[in-house]
Amino acid sequence: MNLYVLGLLLLGVANIESVADSRRPNVLFLVIDDLRPALGCYDYPKIFSPNIDKLASFSMKFENAHIQQAVCGPSRTSFLTSRRPDTTRLYDFGSYWRTHAGNYTSLPQHFKENGYFTYSIGKVFHPGICSNYNDDYPLSWSLPAYHPPTQKYKMKQVCPGPDGKLHMNLLCPVNVTTQPEHSLPDIQSAGHAVEMLQKFSNNKSQPFFLAVGFHKPHIPYKFPEQYLDLYPISEIDLAPNPFIPKELPPVAFSPYTQMRIREDVKSLNLSFPFGPIPYDFQRKIRQHYYSSVTYMDSMVGKVLQQLEQSGFADTTIITLIGDHGWSLGEHGDWCKYENFEVTTRIPMLVHVPGMTDVNEEKKAKFEYVDVFNEKHHKSAKSGPHLNVLVEAVDLFPTLAELTQLQVPPKCPENPFKVDFCTEGASFAQLIEYSSENYAVQNKGLKIHREKGIPWKSAVFSQYPRPSDYPQQNTDLPSLKDIRIMGYTMRTHHHRYTAWVSFDPVKFFANFSEVHARELYLRDSDPLEIYNVANLKEYSNLVSKLHTRLAKGWRHEVFDSQ
């Protein structure tokens, strides 16, 4: 790290005046890029994630958490402002919400304005114009954000190939010592987070909000090569639904163009837009995704271990989320950019000291687990969990309530001139009541009904398209090219999606002009294979769900199942 920058950081941590109540808990906010709930703690035993699993054993695990748009920039802007994409007006990577939509208070900004030292490491806000080219500093952060210097090699030829040359590949296991700067982005981000936690321990009167964003398992799958040894290719299977569904409207499909530009994928000479990818390469993709997840888990483990060693394990609220899901061959797809469950659903863990750490063994909660020395390690105990429908926009008001800061009020119908409000809802009481119930009776799934806490009966996501049929800019259309918006609503029993006409100048979605519909009966079709929207026997249900979808999130308050 630049010595001047390091000096600035240390000076800032040491000298910023504490204006907050020192009894307020710290916050460690972990954001993982492109992470679907493919973790051991989410009943995905094929992947080794011992450090996150241990965190989950002391956290509230949300089984049914969803983001608002399955792509990095819009999703992060959404949950960091607690506004949905139609309010941030960011569906691509081309605008900064404060100048494009409204001067909305961000999550870290709220903590900073209430006396917290706030700091960003790695990919938290999406870099570039989405966050004003400065990660929204100084409004959101006490000091300029840290980005690992090796991230600049993301699109470079650094991947060794069988021909002895370096390539810009999708599959990129590496010997770290041969890489530029002899490191990788997440190694650098974890190392810097460890440094900062060590410095924070010198000034415990100043509460901190530390956000750490890890890049893996985002493509390319560049990770230390030893992690590949954990996943023999002979043990890697295909997706359970590897084919494009027969009744899938073309507008719903993503042709995974960002993957196709990689040299090893390009050499496959895939037909556009539907592929398919050869089975042997499909297994390699899944193998490398798994390896990337385990590598990232190790970096998370190092940060959590330092949190404990610095004396913060029992005074810090920890959240861990993915910014969206990821397809690994499901529906014949290999990316995000869609409205299926596999792309909208994310892992979400919330650790609240004294509340969610209900297991009796509290010594060294976050002791680092080396997956290579303990591949067959004892599984972490299961912690409390909730199956209610929650959304990433709910995190802002929840963390405010858990830290006893002002909770933003519900946004009005016209939210663009209101700086401080939320389009989510705090689930702090759900965590509290469910944790209490778990400790006594190991229940928790319906505790909000027993306690009379109103909660949402549906969650909402959306994705834009430039056309009805896949083309080169289908995955990431610029705002000016958007002509269709796919709105999707996930209830307890259904996923209903309507692809409707959209005006990118007036930001107007016309729900009376429907290009295509999807309806999946999740009780009998959890993989969302059979689109029954066009079957006559479901016409009444489609009509009801379409009306609910058009009314939007404001009308989905009470959980009726």
Please give the pLDDT value at position 311.
Answer: 95
Which one-letter DSSP state was computed for residue 421? -
Q: Is 72 marked active-site? A: yes
Which candidate, 169, 148, 149, places its Cα nearest to that of 159? 169
The sign of the dihedral angle between the CA atoms of 486, 245, 345, 556 is positive
45: exposed, middle or buried (Cβ count in 10 Å: 0-12, 13-18, 19+):
exposed
Which candidate, 556, 198, 169, places its Cα nearest to that of 393? 556
With the CA atoms of 164, 170, 172 and 178 taken in that order, what torsion angle do they form, in degrees rounded to the nearest 10?
70
pLDDT category, 312, cuts 50, 70, 90?
very high
β-pair type (385-391, 345-351): unpaired
Confirm if 502 and 464 have CB atoms less than 8 A apart.
yes
Position of tokens 């999740």?
Answer: 522
SS3 503: strand
331-343 pLDDT tens trace: 999 999 999 999 9
Residues contacting residue 195 through CB under 8 Å, at least 6 positions apart: none
β-pair type (508-521, 221-224): unpaired
132: exposed, middle or buried (Cβ count in 10 Å: 0-12, 13-18, 19+):
middle
pLDDT category, 5, cuts 50, 70, 90?
very low
Q: How far is CA 315 from the centre of its chain?
A: 24
Beta bridge partners of 61: 349, 385
Confirm if 36 and 322 have CB atoms less than 8 A apart.
yes
Q: Choosing from 41, 72, 172, 411, which is the catalytic residue?
A: 72
For residue 233, what are its two tokens?
Answer: 């290719």
Position of tokens 């290579």?
Answer: 372
219-236 pLDDT tens trace: 999 999 999 999 999 999
Position of tokens 């650098």?
Answer: 188
| Type of residue found at 274 | F
The number of beta carbons lying within 10 Å of the beta carbon of residue 338 is: 27
pLDDT category, 454, cuts 50, 70, 90?
confident
Spatial separation of the C-alpha atoms in residues 240 and 250, rounded to whole Å: 21
Spatial separation of the C-alpha atoms in residues 193 and 170, rounded to whole Å: 27
Confirm if 121 and 196 have CB atoms less than 8 A apart.
yes
384-426 pLDDT tens trace: 899 999 999 999 999 999 999 999 999 999 999 999 999 999 9
Q: Choosing from 41, 66, 110, 126, which is the catalytic residue?
A: 126
Residue 376 has pLDDT above 60, yes or no: no
Spatial separation of the C-alpha atoms in residues 30 and 346, rounded to whole Å: 13
Q: Is 218 marked active-site? A: no
151-176 pLDDT tens trace: 999 999 999 999 999 999 999 999 99
Please give the pLDDT value at position 453.
Answer: 75
Does the predicted TM-score (pTM) go above 0.85? yes
Alpha carbons within 13 angstroms on the beta-carbon side of residue 193 total 32
25-153+170-243+279-453 folds as Alkaline Phosphatase, subunit A (3.40.720)
